[in-house]
């Protein structure tokens, strides 16, 4: 079909980990505007409740139902989608992920149509994290299909590209400029660097993320602070909180008071937190200075992620840093990120991505004069069988000077807070997805993988093997790592049912024929730097293992320890 924007108003949804925002293009003025989704503003909670009869509720209704029927409550469905989970197990049984997302989209659509006299939109635009794979994006497309949008009326835009289009709408970005998008939301932190093209488009050249860092971390820190204050001021309240004796309403009000205090501290020097349990009541006051001291470690962690992504870009850096997500409002965060580059003036960071998605699509379709390809790729088969499509690697016969061997141990895909015997297993639908889904985005985005099916021994042990290569020669991620030409790096990847076993083996095994140093890279990852006694060169080998993600890497003939540590940081390992 033709350009949907020419046939009526358009509608976008930014389905977030904690909250969802939406935007629309007004029919008369053609301007992009955020949509009011609740009585209190432009956001609704992304939480979903599935009742025993299968009805789906979202937002505040879902939160209200959670206390009475916690088995039907899904607090953060997007987080599970990011982990590759295709279904949700609730009290009523298993529910396909696209139907859960559809509940959120339907609520936003109802609000949008109310702004247009009940007239349906001409198309829908959906945003997604940059690192999502085609099967994950397809869940969004399927959700839109299920509420009445055929594939030709659905567009998808990655979140950093949407933000870049929003901030560049005034013409301040020139072709060739590099900009960083710092998306710090309620549940996750994502950083991407994009390059502006001659055609007005933006291409992502580096990306990284932390799915365990967001505004909810700050909420938890404030809650712990509040409990410490109650130890001296109101022990009865503390006992009620820690003993689980708050009513569902009291628990909700405490969480809401903490969240509002956090937001007030972005504008004011102090904020109050109300705590109530039965006849007991207390008001606590938290200053901005104390709050910033409390969150200093998390802010440092957030800055370090941004630095690791910017190091991939190298010389020249970025011309501007665009901040999105509610947590980017926090003054300590803004100041810290300001040390990395010029921070663009903040509008409403919570609606930037939703508005930018519409700007991106309308500009692209105005430029091409035709609809972009809908969706995110081939539709997954009903049987859930992974595709056996094979690829031909360019230069497969080249001499490989250094071998990058990665053994990635796949887990069962258990969702957060679910028992292993109840959760459905992760299903990956494209070649290499099972491997790439476990890699940090910095590595995942620059390699391609093909499964090897000829290892009978591995097959008997339940191990799957892959061969991966950089997507382009002279890939900067591998620059300077080995003594050979990093353009010919070969990655051998395997999955295993024992994620932690390999790391334990690395930590405890002490071979007599080698000299090795164990380096703790992070709480859940170690690196072995190995110098073989029989080698006459100064080169060292690297073994890296992560007991949380199940990623194991071996790289032969690295230059030295410093280049190894630089690579691990640059790769997000």
Residues 130, 441: contact at Cβ < 8 Å?
A: yes
80: pLDDT strictly greater than 80: yes
pLDDT in tens, 250-262: 888 898 899 999 9
Work out the average pLDDT over 90-103: 91
pLDDT at 426: 34
Helices assigned H by DSSP within 464-559: 499-508
Average pLDDT over residues 33-43: 89
Residue 451 main-chain phi, psi, to 5 deg: -75, 140
| Eight-class DSSP state of 359 | H
Specify the pLDDT at position 258.
94
> Looking at 34-43, 71-80, 91-100, 203-212, which range is the least confident one?
203-212
pLDDT value for 293: 96
Domains and CATH numbers, the chain: 4-170+346-368 (3.30.420.40), 403-570 (no CATH)
Please state, for a pLDDT cut of 90, what percent of the chain lies above it. Answer: 31
Residue 455's pLDDT is 54
From the number of C-beta atoms within 10 Å of its C-beta (0-12, 13-18, 19+), residue 382 rates as exposed
- Judged by average pLDDT, the poorest of 66-70, 88-92, 303-307 is 66-70
Count CB-CB contacts under 10 A for residue 299: 20
Mean pLDDT of 144-156: 93
**Which distant-in-sequence residues (6+ apart) come within 8 Å of 92 by Cβ?**
50, 51, 52, 53, 54, 72
How large is the average pLDDT for residues 552-573? 82
pLDDT digits (tens, 9 = 90+) for 436-462: 777 887 888 788 877 776 555 555 566
Is residue 41 within 8 Å of residue 35, measured between CB atoms? no
Confidence label for 170 from pLDDT (cuts 50, 70 and 90)? confident
Q: Distance between CA atoms of 342 and 345, rounded to whole angstroms?
A: 9
pLDDT, position 34: 93
Render pLDDT for 467-504 as a digit per residue (tens, 0 to 9): 777 777 777 888 778 766 554 567 777 766 666 776 77
Indicate the average pLDDT of the chain.
78
More confident residue, 544 or 508: 544
Higher-pLDDT residue of 187 and 181 is: 181
Residue 45 — left, alpha, or beta (φ > 0 → left; ψ -120 to 50 → alpha)? beta
For residue 37, the model assigns a pLDDT of: 92
Tens digits of residue pLDDT in 370-425: 443 444 433 333 222 222 222 222 222 222 222 333 333 332 233 323 333 333 33
State the Cα–Cα distance between residues 8 and 182, nearest whole angstrom: 32
Range with the largest mean pLDDT of 230-239, 307-316, 526-535: 230-239
Q: What pLDDT is attached to residue 431?
A: 53
Helix (H, G, I), strand (E, B) or coil at 324: strand
Residues comprising the chain, all counted: 573
The mean pLDDT of 89-93, rounded to a whole number, is 86
Confidence bin at 15 (pLDDT 50/70/90): very high
Which whole number is the average pLDDT over 195-209?
86
In contact, 353 and 162? CB cutoff 8 Å: yes
Q: Among 50-54, 126-130, 389-393, 549-553, where is mean pLDDT lowest?
A: 389-393
HSE-CB at 263 with a 13 A cutoff on CA atoms is 14
Between 512 and 65, where is the model more confident? 65
Task: Classify 302 as helix, strand or coil.
Answer: helix
Contacts of range 37-45, beta carbons closer than 8 Å, 24 or more positions apart: 37/107, 37/108, 37/111, 42/348, 42/350, 42/351, 43/19, 43/350, 44/19, 44/20, 44/104, 44/107, 44/108, 45/18, 45/19, 45/20
Burial zone of 302 (CB within 10 Å; 0-12 exposed, 13-18 middle, 19+ buried) = buried
- pLDDT value at 434 more than 60: yes
pTM > 0.85? no
């Amino acid at each position: 079909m033709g350009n949907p924007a020419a046939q009526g108003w358009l509608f976008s949804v930014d389905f977030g980990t904690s909250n969802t925002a939406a935007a629309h293009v007004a029919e008369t003025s053609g301007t992009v505007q955020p949509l009011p989704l609740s009585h209190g503003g432009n956001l609704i909670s992304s939480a979903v409740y599935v009742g025993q009869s299968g009805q789906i509720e979202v937002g505040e209704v879902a939160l209200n139902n959670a206390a009475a029927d916690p088995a039907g409550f899904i607090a953060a469905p997007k987080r599970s989608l990011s982990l590759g989970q295709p279904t949700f197990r609730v009290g009523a049984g298993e529910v396909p992920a696209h139907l859960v997302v559809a509940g959120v989209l339907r609520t936003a659509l109802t609000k949008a149509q109310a702004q247009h006299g009940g007239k349906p939109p001409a198309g829908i635009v959906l945003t997604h994290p940059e690192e999502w794979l085609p099967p994950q994006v397809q869940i969004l497309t399927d959700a839109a299909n299920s509420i009445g949008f055929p594939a030709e009326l659905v567009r998808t835009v990655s979140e950093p590209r949407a933000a870049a289009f929003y901030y560049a709408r005034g013409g301040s970005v020139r072709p060739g400029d590099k900009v960083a998008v710092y998306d710090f939301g309620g549940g996750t932190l994502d950083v991407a660097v994009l390059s502006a093209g001659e055609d007005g488009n933006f291409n992502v050249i580096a990306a990284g993320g932390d799915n365990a860092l967001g505004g909810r971390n700050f909420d938890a820190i404030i809650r712990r602070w509040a409990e410490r204050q109650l130890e001296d001021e109101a022990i009865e309240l503390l006992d009620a909180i820690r003993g689980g004796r708050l009513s569902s309403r009291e628990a909700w009000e405490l969480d809401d008071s903490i969240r509002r205090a956090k937001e007030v501290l972005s504008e004011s020097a102090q904020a109050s937190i109300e705590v109530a349990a039965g006849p007991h009541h207390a008001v606590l006051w938290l200053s901005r200075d104390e709050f910033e001291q409390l969150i200093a470690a998390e802010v440092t962690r957030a800055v370090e992620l941004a630095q690791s992504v910017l190091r991939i870009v190298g010389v020249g850096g970025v011309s501007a840093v665009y901040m999105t997500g509610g947590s980017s409002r926090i003054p300590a965060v803004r100041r810290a990120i300001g040390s990395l580059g010029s921070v663009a003036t903040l509008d409403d960071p919570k609606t930037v991505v939703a508005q930018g998605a519409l700007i991106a699509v309308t500009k692209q379709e105005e430029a091409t004069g035709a609809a972009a390809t809908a969706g995110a790729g081939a539709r997954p088969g009903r049987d859930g069988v992974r595709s056996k499509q094979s690829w031909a690697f360019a230069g497969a016969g080249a001499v490989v000077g250094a071998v990058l061997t990665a053994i990635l141990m796949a887990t069962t895909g258990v969702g957060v807070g679910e028992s292993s015997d109840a959760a459905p297993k992760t299903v990956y639908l494209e070649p290499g997805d099972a491997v790439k889904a476990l890699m940090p985005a910095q590595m995942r985005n620059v390699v391609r993988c093909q499964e090897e099916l000829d290892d009978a021994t591995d097959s008997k042990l339940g191990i799957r093997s892959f061969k991966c290569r950089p997507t382009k020669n002279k890939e900067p991620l591998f620059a300077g790592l080995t003594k050979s030409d990093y353009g010919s790096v070969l990655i051998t990847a395997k999955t295993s049912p024992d994620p932690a076993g390999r790391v334990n083996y690395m930590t405890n095994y002490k071979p007599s024929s080698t000299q090795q140093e164990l380096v703790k890279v992070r709480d859940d990852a170690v690196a072995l730097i190995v110098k073989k006694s029989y080698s006459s060169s100064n080169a060292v080998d690297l073994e890296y293992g992560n007991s949380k993600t199940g990623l194991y890497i071996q790289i032969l003939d690295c230059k030295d320890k410093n280049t190894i540590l630089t690579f691990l940081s640059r790769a997000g390992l």
